[in-house]
Homo-oligomer: A and B are copies of this chain.
Amino acid sequence: MTGQTPTPPFCAAIDWGTTNLRVWLLDATGAVLGERASGEGMRACMPDRFETVMESHLAALGAASDLPVIVAGMAGARGGWREAPYLTAPVGLGALHAGAVAVPHATRDVRILPGVCQRLPGREDVMRGEETQLAGAVAGGLGDGLVCLPGTHSKWAVVEAGRLVAFTTFMTGELFAVIGGHSILKDTLGEGAVDPAGPAFRGGVEDMLAEGAALTGRLFSLRAASLLGAAPDPRARLSGLLIGAEIAAARAAHGTASEVGLVAAGLQADLYATALRLAGFRASLLDGGTLVRRGLHDAARALWR
């Protein structure tokens, strides 16, 4: 009972990742009328539960049966709901909707936005979902510069004049997991959260930022230090080495002139912000959910207004 007139839903927007799902009910201005989140990501929905899962969330949000739906992310991968072929970078981030693919035989209008690929030999790369976050960032006023999207597969994107010019995926998060879970370092690392302010994380970052350091030559020292009784917080140091290697490479490729948009939250944001600062970058924090919602809404407006 706020006295405001409720606005009608314009579309539903879904960020459908590998392991998670977010659904928003949006009005024509992009304002959020309702929201759902679940662990029913692409993996949980393969091969044929996509529509059932989507309809259950839309019903819970009270969406009309003819409300159109715009989707970004892994639902558009080969083997997902319906493949939305990659656009090839460089690509205008304002035109993702032009590559959207309609899901055939759905009971309502469902469009899946394409991912983006890069075809440089030896630097081939792909993204699905991050391009929509980047579109949202550009729509929100992001100028030329770098955007860092940390995660299992951390991505660094170069954005110029509203275009995604180039990008690189670092396997930072996945390497942390497989090295910690399956290598000789398994018993060395211990448990617990990494402290961004501690000397172990910071030292790992700084070693990777130094000239001539190589990641693969520093990993075993975690084990050796433990054998020698000289290993304070090897888990934090491994995190620092991996994030430091990523940022050192980005710095070598791009310098530190431009501000970096950092799409992260919580501890991950703290770790990357600390490491970026050590490398001489200025970072500004961006919220990934807000970005993808805005990117989805802009695409929906382009498709259906």
Spell out A's residues near B (CB within 8 Å).
78, 86, 117-119, 121-126, 153, 156, 168-172, 174-175, 178-179, 181-184, 203, 207, 211-221, 223-225, 227-228, 230-231, 242, 245-246, 248-249, 252-253
Least CB distance, A281 to chain B, in whole angstroms: 16
Cβ–Cβ contact A170 & B126, under 8 A:
no
Please name the 9 residue pairs, one residue from A and one from B, whose CB atoms are nearest each other, closest first.
A214-B249, A212-B252, A124-B225, A169-B220, A124-B224, A126-B224, A178-B182, A182-B182, A170-B216
Least CB distance, A164 to chain B, in whole angstroms: 15
Contacts A/B (CB < 8 Å), 19 sampled: A117-B227, A124-B224, A124-B225, A124-B230, A125-B220, A126-B223, A153-B220, A156-B217, A170-B217, A170-B220, A171-B216, A174-B183, A174-B184, A178-B178, A212-B253, A214-B245, A215-B215, A216-B242, A216-B246
Least CB distance, A216 to chain B, in whole angstroms: 5
How many copies altogether? Answer: 2
Out of B172, B212, B214, name the residue touching A246 (CB < 8 Å): B214
Least CB distance, A286 to chain B, in whole angstroms: 21
Residues of chain B with a CB closer than 8 A to A211's CB: 252
Give the CA-CA distance A256 to B96 in the complex, in Å.
49
Additional pairs, 12, CB under 8 Å, beyond known A123-B218, A175-B179, A178-B179? A117-B227, A125-B224, A126-B227, A169-B224, A171-B219, A172-B216, A175-B216, A178-B182, A214-B249, A214-B252, A215-B215, A217-B246
Give the CA-CA distance A153 to B231 in the complex, in Å.
19
Residues of chain B with a CB closer than 8 A to A252's CB: 211-212, 214
Residues of chain B with a CB closer than 8 A to A212's CB: 249, 252-253
Give the CA-CA distance A279 to B191 in the complex, in Å.
39
Cβ–Cβ contact B221 & A169, under 8 A:
yes
